[in-house]
Structure 1
Amino acid sequence: MSRADALGRRTFVTGAAAMALLGTGAQPAGAAGAAGLIGGNLPDFHQALKDELTFPLAWGTSPVRDFRAWRRAARATVEEHLLVGRQDGTPYAPEYTEGPEGDGYRRELVTVSLTRYERVRGVLLTPHGPGPFPAVLLLHDHGAKFDIGKEKLVRPWYDDTRLASAQAWADRHFDGRFVGDELARRGHVVLCLDALGWSDRGPLVYDQQQALASNLYHLGSSPAGLMAREDARAAGFLAGLDRVDARRVAAVGFSMGAYRAWQAAALSDDVAAAASVCWMTGLKEMMVPGNNTLRGQSAYHMLHPGLARYLDIPDVASIAAPKPMLFFHGGQDTLFPADGVRVAYDKLRAVWRSRRAEERLRLKTWPDLGHAFTGRMQDEVFAWLDDVL
């Protein structure tokens, strides 16, 4: 067995032992004055903490030089930091409820067991025709709006109360479109489920997010880890449907859904491609005074404690290489500063280039747009999906 293969099997070492092995042990910050807080939520020594983040398991920095072995090791490191136990093979046991016909597709409500803890209701859209079809796991955003989840992306035929809220959300962020319905009209099977706290699984209140996270941490779990596990399981369920071509399943999302999309591509072999709109940055560049992440609350849904000691955000996304991946960023998006997006894009580009697969990676900044998934952006994503699937 080669050294690379051995490292691939022994996937990770945690804590101080890993830092010693990789030569990145934290050094004393030196003499310091009285400690304090910046804006009440960032320690004044935050720069010293950031300086200690060297991301030693990133591709190109890691001692593992075989890419497949590196992917196994990096994925295992992420899996460990999800905190939630590994998938247990709980049967999905789907239950379907037919809905009214859509424009060229049929609608269903589906309830499935994504984990052994809870059954989850979602929507399933299937184009008319014989199939099997390409499919999209559609992942909803955060938006501090919890009364709707799946309804943000698929028109809720089953709930008139939520319809008004959903339409207002589509008008605000998606140029009035329901993205899932558009994808189904264009020939894709679409699955969209609620994350914990949204729609049928909530609703949360913004200020309750910290308490929810704390309670899940006390129970040996985490909001972000649970969401990652559920998204991977949802991809497996979608890929296993007879109506779906299992080789042509993509994950698509906006904002938190974009984070979920590239993460699902990194952690699940059932996801063949991913389109991520408005969620990619370098961690250090995001952790700056004034950034929304520093407020806490919503950050818990995208926080795997301790993972930053090993991998940067784009390093995790790079586990998906060389799959086809699309990343869009709005140049006016204040949630993700331009320098953080630039750092992330450079890292992603280097990984796909190392795989001689740069043509499979699409990176684009829309200079005139903010944090949105406009009709123009959607049309490019739809065309890209047609090409890669």
Structure 2
Amino acid sequence: MVFLIKSETRRALRRLIWLSCLLSGLSVAGGSDAPAAGSAYQTSGVTKQMPVFYQTVKARTAYPLSWLSGRFSDFQQWRTTARKEVILRLLAPPADAGAWEPVIVGEEDRGNYVVRKIIFNLTGDSHVLAYMTVPKGKGPFPAVLLLHSHSGKFDIGKEKVIRPWGVPSEKLASAEALVAKEYDGVFIGDALAERGYVCFSTDALNWSDRGGGAYAGQAQLASNLLHLGMSLAGLIAWEDLRAAEFLAAQPEIDPKRVAAVGMSMGAYRAWQVAALSDRISASVSICWMTTVESLMTPPNNQTQSHSAFTTVHPGLLDKLDYSDVASLACPKPMLFFNGRSDDLFPQEGVERAYARMHAIWDSQGAGDQLITKSWDGGHVFTRAMQAEAFDWLDRNLGAQKTP
């Protein structure tokens, strides 16, 4: 009797597997319990490091928590519901820092502004070093939370956006080389400081003074954080939220005029913190916006593990597309630039994401607050792009160049 029950169970499971494969459009092979008209089971489960059924998963993903899903009638209720979902998917937060306890450990005069090195409690788990530019003159000043990029370079973080000093010569050279390649030779924090902004930047975990895992260690770091109930992308997001709180609390700034600015992974962080923090009143995001469907296409970089762990929140992306998360910032002023020949973000996906965001801002009568533009070129933030983005930032935050 026991044998008969197990046999029937096996037959039922085979039929279930066969039916699942058939519905997924997969090739199957014959077996004694398979229906005569077809084949029986998967003989390959992975192709190009993706599950063989990834196309059918993408096709059935409808983003039910999107404002564009038609399931919500009240925009504020949607924002509250969707934001709670995003926060949930960040997983466990780091320990509360309690007091920031900032200490200035260095300062350099750069003419119209000074740059400070500040040590403070970013979280209860991490006592970190940050750079902050402060214009000379009478405040309060508008402020920018600068989020550094990934770039595959882990020896520098905050040094990618504010020119370092008092560091080993090889670190300065690394920063200058990266800035020449991606920022057209401009340390954007220094450029914004010249325009009258307080700029603040610190390192994400695994970069610069908080390094140690480098490129090869990213997946292991992400896995180990998951074993601790956290995620790498979630930790970066939590820390960006804490950094926004710290910046808004500084006496030199106007807390109602705080923007987030970043390129590449920094752009992702910029629109994400603008979506989740009421401290951020505007954002500039360069070279990171598209659709999940576009990125989940081999051999896109996002399908290659390692670096992808910095921007993926477990259990979120079947409910909200990237543009939906960014749109939690609506109706704030937001600017997005992408490069038409950026291999990391195919243009078709970029334009679909832009269209989704415009539909959301337009639905709230705030279409003029969202700027999207595709530029000739690749994964770069050129001087021409900087001039246009920073002029837009001046108009929205009311900054004036220091004398």
TM-score normalised over the length of structure 1: 0.90
Name the CA distance, whole Å, in 2 between partners of 1:136 and 1:282. Answer: 27
User: Paired residue for 2:265?
Assistant: 256
Name the CA distance, whole Å, in 1 between partners of 2:175 and 2:151. Answer: 12
CA-to-partner distance for each residue in 1:266-313, whole Å, 9 max, x for gaps?
Answer: 010000000000000010111111111111100000010110121111
Pairing 1:287–2:296 present: yes
User: Paired residue for 2:147?
Assistant: 139
- The answer to whether the 8 A contact 2:207-2:214 is kept is no
Pairing 1:278–2:287 present: yes
Pairing 1:349–2:361 present: no
Name the CA distance, whole Å, in 2 between partners of 1:296 and 1:86. Answer: 24
Shift of 1:158: 2.0
Q: Using the TM superposition, name which of 336-345 and 152-161 deviates more.
A: 152-161
- The answer to whether the 8 A contact 2:95-2:125 is kept is no
Pairing 1:229–2:238 present: yes
Name the CA distance, whole Å, in 2 between partners of 1:321 and 1:356. Answer: 10
User: Paired residue for 1:68?
Assistant: 76
User: Paired residue for 2:389?
Assistant: 381
Name the CA distance, whole Å, in 2 between partners of 1:156 and 1:351. Answer: 40
- The answer to whether the 8 A contact 1:36-1:43 is kept is yes
Q: Using the TM superposition, name which of 219-228 and 101-110 deviates more.
A: 101-110
User: Paired residue for 1:219?
Assistant: 228
Shift of 1:62: 5.3
Name the CA distance, whole Å, in 2 between partners of 1:330 and 1:216. Answer: 33
1:38 to 19, 37, 47: 47
User: Paired residue for 2:59?
Assistant: 51
Name the CA distance, whole Å, in 2 between partners of 1:63 and 1:177. Answer: 45
Shift of 1:241: 0.8
User: Paired residue for 1:81?
Assistant: 89
- The answer to whether the 8 A contact 1:139-1:261 is kept is yes
Secondary structure in 2 matching 1:130? coil
Percent identical: 48
Name the CA distance, whole Å, in 2 between partners of 1:379 and 1:237. Answer: 28
**Moved segments of 4+, more than 3 Å:** 86-89
User: Paired residue for 2:100?
Assistant: 92
Secondary structure in 2 matching 1:308? coil
Secondary structure in 1 matching 2:108? coil
1:177 to 177, 182, 186: 186
User: Paired residue for 2:253?
Assistant: 244
- The answer to whether the 8 A contact 1:147-1:203 is kept is no
Q: Using the TM superposition, name which of 171-180 and 56-65 deviates more.
A: 56-65
User: Paired residue for 2:332?
Assistant: 323
Name the CA distance, whole Å, in 2 between partners of 1:42 and 1:308. Answer: 16
Name the CA distance, whole Å, in 2 between partners of 1:72 and 1:330. Answer: 32
Secondary structure in 2 matching 1:206? coil
Shift of 1:339: 1.2
Shift of 1:52: 2.7
Q: Using the TM superposition, name which of 127-136 and 89-98 deviates more.
A: 89-98
Name the CA distance, whole Å, in 2 between partners of 1:89 and 1:205. Answer: 26
Shift of 1:172: 0.8
Where do residues 69-218 of structure 1 align in structure 2 (5 Å cutoff)?
Answer: 69-85=77-93, 88=96, 90-161=98-169, 162-218=171-227
Name the CA distance, whole Å, in 2 between partners of 1:138 and 1:183. Answer: 10
Q: Which protein has the larger Cα radius of gyration, Structure 1 or Structure 2? A: 2
User: Paired residue for 2:34?
Assistant: none
Name the CA distance, whole Å, in 1 between partners of 2:82 and 2:294. Answer: 22
1:358 to 362, 367, 382: 367
CA-to-partner distance for each residue in 1:116-136, whole Å, 9 max, x for gaps?
Answer: 111121101000011000000
Secondary structure in 2 matching 1:164? helix
Secondary structure in 1 matching 2:216? helix
Q: Number of aligned residue pairs: give it.
A: 361
Shift of 1:152: 0.7
Q: For structure 1, which runs of at least 5 residues remain unmatched after alignment? A: 1-26
Shift of 1:88: 3.6
Read off the aligned partner of 1:152 and give its amino acid letter.
K
Name the CA distance, whole Å, in 2 between partners of 1:64 and 1:28. Answer: 33
Read off the aligned partner of 1:359 and give its amino acid letter.
D
Read off the aligned partner of 1:68 and give its amino acid letter.
Q
Q: Using the TM superposition, name which of 200-209 and 238-247 deviates more.
A: 200-209
Read off the aligned partner of 1:218 and give its amino acid letter.
H
Shift of 1:363: 0.3
Read off the aligned partner of 1:57 and give its amino acid letter.
L
- The answer to whether the 8 A contact 1:135-1:249 is kept is yes
Q: Judging changes above 3 Å, is the alpha-carbon distance between structure 1 residues 311 and 122 closer, same or farther for their aligned structure 2 residues?
A: same
Shift of 1:87: 7.3
Shift of 1:316: 0.3
Name the CA distance, whole Å, in 1 between partners of 2:179 and 2:168. Answer: 15
Q: Judging changes above 3 Å, is the alpha-carbon distance between structure 1 residues 385 and 279 closer, same or farther for their aligned structure 2 residues?
A: same
1:311 to 320, 342, 359: 320
Secondary structure in 2 matching 1:303? coil
Name the CA distance, whole Å, in 1 between partners of 2:94 and 2:292. Answer: 26
Q: For structure 2, which runs of at least 5 residues remain unmatched after alignment? A: 1-18, 29-41, 398-403
